[in-house]
Structure 1
């Protein structure tokens, strides 16, 4: 039975003899107040440059993450923080794995995001941007960008992101502008550049073409109309209208006469495009019929007895919209019959139309027509839609030029001249309603309504956009290239597809198919923008020549060299100086014979060219001009990844990257998109003020960034809780390593098995951590390490070894071995976590290794010796830990019942069915593993009342109380307490006291 003498009140107070943890590392992190001190420390020691010095001998393999440039036009949002933190973790982790990981931050400085801001300032002052000298305006844009670069730089640095902040790349630097122009002129010289007229996404508010990446889709309510196109007659549309048509027999003539009395019905959500109609398309694979209207609702605009041509699958829905109460399907209509029809434009012969629309409308077969919605017939305006444009190319339809840059009809267009499609405030202009009224007056309107659907908007002005036919400059991505770089194909498209398939690794893998499908089907690249702030299209066209003429473009290498040299010296503004054309053409060609182009390049061409002036040209670039990683949001499959791929394939012959890593979008806690109007935005600055940047970085590491992530107050509280648990683990190590010296070190073969098991786990983790960082799986890295720290270390190893660390003699092998393991743990964990928790790991490191030049970020991840791995030992200790779980669960039952207060009051008997496991338990200090004063292990059958865990069969525990007295130093209850030199101690503690 347990001795009554549990406390010897006459014994001395031994508390000062126990090696309790000693550290100044605080429990409370105080990150918001303390992080700026570490930033100052890194700035003082020049941490980024110090890391570059580590590769002075060239022994470290280079690793380059090329920064996708953010726009320099506002404070950072949570997406910026996510993006830059991921990049920083990638760079730091590869640096600490032995690479020379360079990171040059950059900014996109040209284009509408900045120009729009300056225009807003002008409008607020009542100024007209077009009345300002263009160079002065460009200088305003430059100053605006410079200011925001400085602001954003400090905000990124506050996140703990390191890089070459003193020498970032800016697309508006003179050298960058010169290289962008040079890259453009490569397109000029290799034959891919051409001027064409085709419909492009156009912003009437911003008066410029837009790239797909500059468009976002929002719900929009549009007018929808069903319009009659009257059949004119059979035969070819080029036949005179009064020429009679001959038929083989009376039945054929009757059938044809039926069609000649009918109308083809189209459906569209863009009534404003009706004046530009040049054809109606049908699909030969769809079943069509001739339908007669029999009875009407009184509000119907249909006519009783009229004949309508419709797709069979859509006839009912059309009649419902037209408020037709009953109708009859007269007969089938074949594709051959449809193709033989010619229609009249709805505005043909209308009063005031001045003959503008008195032309024939052909019926043309097109695969893009479906019977899923509408009527089965598609109104075709080649100047205002891609499918329509392709039909126009195929059937040589004329283009129209009825819409001006500001989204109004040309002033001399009959009936509608000067009316706006999209007004300058971004709202619908009168053009749609005017067309609907005119169609009704002309008797062509069968039905009308409204529809709410996803519609393209400019992501800057937030205004709707239209498809508009304009002369633009294009890169022909299927043009055959003879440039000596044909390893992956002889066109831009082929090279891009081959790069995706063979050269680039995607994280997540689904990015490959996404980018591949975009490249596979994309049209030619629209390079030109009708704006002021950007790199101009540095080319000249022969005055009076047509775009199809072979000498339309001036292709002269010396002219190109002069342009690039001027840009290198003075920037792209020189293009707009008076006399520049004459200066660069002088002595080479007659300046009067050429016209200078003043469109500016699509900013995606700017950012797509960054590989040339960053990776290729900088001393901290790459030897081959190829980046190891491009990392951006998933929207950049149609943005930066896309434009860089096209640009690189034209000028490098391949993709300028080896890895493409993408992250999703950041949502609020409910999974909703963040919006200022809703009030659910999370600003990085606010998180940093409340929690510190490391909590924000930890949120990034804990989330699956490859999908959309959620963030909010409750989520951040959970992140902070994880951080506190991890911080306690680190503090325990620091406290128990106080005063540790190399003289204490114990080599693995002299360590107890428990310590060798920890070393084995470190060897396994070393592989997992490196693999995780190399594959950009930070969530996997953090969760693996967090579980190891909190479950295997804090709740197991630390809990067991507290007794040895606190109470063993200072020179005891077990205590020295435990401290040696803690030293290994410290070196591994601080460097493994350092890429994620940059501030906290610096705090931990400097707490142990203070010094003006000291930093965890100057360290590499330790090389773990091969002999630490011990699979046999690991398997043995897996069995020991399973048995331990049964013991500790048993003790918890008695503690909850208040039968014991401490596990040291117990001396359980453990019944083990497996004799091999029993031997394993006896071979180690199993009482120490279970934190009890003594323990018995037996293979005898367990009594029925023994404690068991269903998930751990074969192990049962019978509770017994420890016999003896409580040691006044270690608190174990042992029979020998009180029989030694030092009163109230056990033998171990008596020896420790000397």
Structure 2
């Protein structure tokens, strides 16, 4: 209403000004003519209005509307048709080939990580593609030729899961699974590609790459052959991140960490049966350990200590129990247990050498006290329960001291027969944990239980927690490539520069990369296995034969 009043006032001012200047001549006629057109009257037909409409006409005559064929509003299919018409008339599809044909001194090449062909386009695709398209167009405006060939990652677990849906793999042969997965990927590619083009993304849409193309797979096998010939590929039985929900091994890049994961952390005792010389006078001493994964206790093979740290034998005021803990953890443990801990003796960790503990849940099993550099004093007791089958650091200790690696967990994340009849077939993360804790309570080894909120690895596809379990897998020895990778990284411009340190730290930390997956849809590891022994046959002749197909 305010705007209408201001327009009306402006119209009256113009009319008064026009009357004073030309006696209501040209300007008045122009305004009257325009008003007549707005009312639907032709020139010469916009005469006086009836008296009853004079007030309404006075306001209407002051609004001058433009005359255009452009529609005020389009919705539904008309809007889509109009946008497509604009794209076609403006030559959106020809922009990429046009800029490639023009002369330019420099080329800008965008290596775009391919999206998975596992579903319909969504807002994440739009954000990714449009932002990159803005950069490409900016480089084109700078006079450069843009090189951008889009593609799709057509293999892997995400596609297989989506393709099979609730059917699962039961009753389907590997060939049938591959066929269904390929059909699903082809359909997803068609829908995504149409959407990307519809969004006006400038690219070479006639030469897209797809990872399930024979030529692309052959190139992958060639790289595999070169790495194998240089000794970078090997097979080993070692702990890997295992997803029970997907029934496959995962690389670290396929994990996401849930910072609010809740574990049932426990403090448990391992009675000393062979005492180190410096604590031989004290009887009934138990090593106190802390773990957030109680289900790994049955797989324990050792208890680790830090050689250079100080350790103490302490006596509980409430029940006179003797416990072996790190000296600097005594105060926090006293507060946690709600009782005073009286120090009986203190010594260095190296003096614990030769000590042997009794396993709390497996009768007649004994485990040694061993030195290890991965032990920390930030949490727990300064003594680490060690299960080589279910921890990377634990496995390193086992390899150094020649300990056995016993896996009691199957591919579904359940205890096997090896864990005993009380635990067999129980899911380790749920009812298996409940049972282990009840067993520790029954034998008097459980000192304290608490809820621990911490960061824990999850399968980034199924959003379910993973476990660490040993499995015979194929690996790339990234340790031998580390130095070359660091040298190459120094030549790369990193934005922001502060991120370079994180990349270098990652190269130091990851000494191997698990590349095998227990799936049917993907580029296979080019290996033949003996039917009876399971021994692997892999050499250049086999690789060349597979490449030929």
Is residue 2:381 matched to residue 1:375? yes
Alpha carbons of structure 1 residues 230 and 179: separation in structure 2 relative to 1, 3 Å: same
Specify the SS of the correspondent of 2:215.
helix
Is residue 2:10 matched to residue 1:10? no
Please name the residue that 2:208 is paired with.
168
Please name the residue that 1:272 is paired with.
295
Specify the SS of the correspondent of 1:383.
helix
Please name the residue that 1:290 is paired with.
313
Q: What whole-Å deviation, never above 9, does each CA across 1:419-453 have from its counterpart, x for those lacking one?
A: 3335xxxxx43211111111222222222232232
Specify the SS of the correspondent of 1:405.
coil
Is residue 2:320 matched to residue 1:314? no
Q: Is the 8 A contact 1:286 1:370 kept in 2?
A: no
Please name the residue that 2:135 is paired with.
90
Please name the residue that 2:443 is paired with.
442
Alpha carbons of structure 1 residues 283 and 478: separation in structure 2 relative to 1, 3 Å: same
Please name the residue that 2:469 is paired with.
468
**Distance of 1:23 and 1:392 partners within structure 2:** 85
**Distance of 2:304 and 2:70 partners within structure 1:** 75
Q: Is the 8 A contact 1:342 1:362 kept in 2?
A: yes
TM superposition shift of 1:263: 0.7
**Distance of 2:500 and 2:68 partners within structure 1:** 50
Please name the residue that 1:340 is paired with.
354
**Distance of 1:76 and 1:512 partners within structure 2:** 32
Aligned residue among 514, 521, 532 for 2:509: 521
Q: What whole-Å deviation, never above 9, does each CA across 1:885-919 have from its counterpart, x for those lacking one?
A: xxxxxxxxxxxxxxxxxxxxxxxxxxxxxxxxxxx
Specify the SS of the correspondent of 2:110.
strand
Q: Is the 8 A contact 1:181 1:536 kept in 2?
A: no
Alpha carbons of structure 1 residues 51 and 307: separation in structure 2 relative to 1, 3 Å: closer
Q: What whole-Å deviation, never above 9, does each CA across 1:691-721 have from its counterpart, x for those lacking one?
A: xxxxxxxxxxxxxxxxxxxxxxxxxxxxxxx
Q: What whole-Å deviation, never above 9, does each CA across 1:831-860 have from its counterpart, x for those lacking one?
A: xxxxxxxxxxxxxxxxxxxxxxxxxxxxxx
Unpaired runs of 5+ residues, structure 1, are 124-128, 236-246, 296-303, 350-354, 423-427, 480-491, 567-994
Alpha carbons of structure 1 residues 371 and 27: separation in structure 2 relative to 1, 3 Å: farther
TM superposition shift of 1:27: 11
Specify the SS of the correspondent of 2:241.
strand
Q: How does 1:378-393 map to 2 (within 5 A)?
A: 378-393=384-399
Is residue 2:539 matched to residue 1:555? yes
**Distance of 1:472 and 1:403 partners within structure 2:** 16
Is residue 2:411 matched to residue 1:411? no
TM superposition shift of 1:181: 2.4
Q: Is the 8 A contact 1:419 1:429 kept in 2?
A: no
Please name the residue that 1:430 is paired with.
431
**Distance of 1:75 and 1:181 partners within structure 2:** 30
Please name the residue that 1:904 is paired with.
none
Aligned residue among 191, 198, 203 for 1:158: 198
Specify the SS of the correspondent of 1:471.
strand
Is residue 2:95 matched to residue 1:61? no
Q: Is the 8 A contact 1:205 1:461 kept in 2?
A: yes
Q: What whole-Å deviation, never above 9, does each CA across 1:75-119 have from its counterpart, x for those lacking one?
A: 333322211111111112212222221222211121111111234
Q: TM-score, normalised by structure 1?
A: 0.47
- Kindly tell me the number of residue pairs found equivalent between the two proteins: 498
Specify the SS of the correspondent of 1:76.
coil
Specify the SS of the correspondent of 1:136.
helix
Alpha carbons of structure 1 residues 185 and 545: separation in structure 2 relative to 1, 3 Å: farther
Alpha carbons of structure 1 residues 305 and 433: separation in structure 2 relative to 1, 3 Å: same
Specify the SS of the correspondent of 1:8.
helix
Please name the residue that 1:256 is paired with.
280
Higher strand proportion: 2
Alpha carbons of structure 1 residues 212 and 48: separation in structure 2 relative to 1, 3 Å: same
TM superposition shift of 1:140: 0.4
Please name the residue that 1:182 is paired with.
222
Please name the residue that 1:454 is paired with.
455
TM superposition shift of 1:34: 5.2
Q: Is the 8 A contact 2:306 2:373 kept in 1?
A: yes
Unpaired runs of 5+ residues, structure 2, are 1-15, 31-63
Specify the SS of the correspondent of 2:494.
strand
Rg: which structure is higher? Answer: 1
Alpha carbons of structure 1 residues 332 and 54: separation in structure 2 relative to 1, 3 Å: closer
**Distance of 2:227 and 2:67 partners within structure 1:** 64
Q: How does 1:785-824 map to 2 (within 5 A)?
A: none
Q: Is the 8 A contact 2:96 2:203 kept in 1?
A: no
Please name the residue that 2:119 is paired with.
74
Please name the residue that 1:872 is paired with.
none
Q: Is the 8 A contact 2:268 2:447 kept in 1?
A: yes
